[in-house]
Every structure is written in structure tokens, then in C-alpha cells.
Amino acid sequence: MKEKVQAVLDKIRPSLQADGGDVELVDVTPQGIVKVRLTGACKGCPMSQMTLKNGIERFLLKELPEIKGVEPAS
């Protein structure tokens, strides 16, 4: 499952990198929760939560219906 998620994140990555940010896959839980870490410009951006939910999570759920959600890694 981690490989599938990574492949989808690789599709999203160019958009984030265009704004000076990036996303790092930390884990995929057995319950289907994807844990990611936003890096670069995304790390401290006030819009990062919106990027996480409306961008990354929405795209992952569309591509991989077995995913239940996306959360920031602590």
C-alpha cells in the first residue's frame, strides 16, 4: 500500500515544488490513514492545512479509495 500511496504523491509533488514546498510520506496505518510531512515552503505556510485536506487528501482518496484520510505526521 505504501508504494501505491508514494506513486500518487509523486503525481502531486510537482505542484507543491512549483510553490517551493514538498510532501514526504511518513506512514500508512493499517486503518488506511496516510501520515505525511509537508516540507519546504509548505511547512510553515498558513494554507498548509488546506493543502493537506483539499489537495493531497482529496487526490489520494480519488486515486486510492481504500485510503480513509490524510493526517500530518507529528
pLDDT of residue 16: 92
Domain that holds residue 27: 2-72
For residues 46 and 32, is the Cβ–Cβ distance under 8 A?
no
pLDDT of residue 56: 95
Walk along the chain (74 residues) and give the pLDDT tens digit of each residue.
Answer: 999 999 999 999 999 999 999 999 999 999 999 999 999 998 888 889 999 999 999 999 999 999 999 999 97
Query: In this structure, which long-range contacts are made by residues 3-7, counting pairs with CB atoms below 8 Å and at least 24 apart in sequence?
Result: 4/64, 5/34, 5/60, 5/64, 5/67
Residues in Cβ contact with 2 at an 8 Å cutoff, skipping those fewer than 6 apart: 25, 27, 28
pLDDT of residue 71: 95
Domain count, the chain: 1
Closest CA to 35 of 3, 68, 73: 73
For the whole model, what pTM was predicted? 0.90
CATH of residue 7:
3.30.300.130
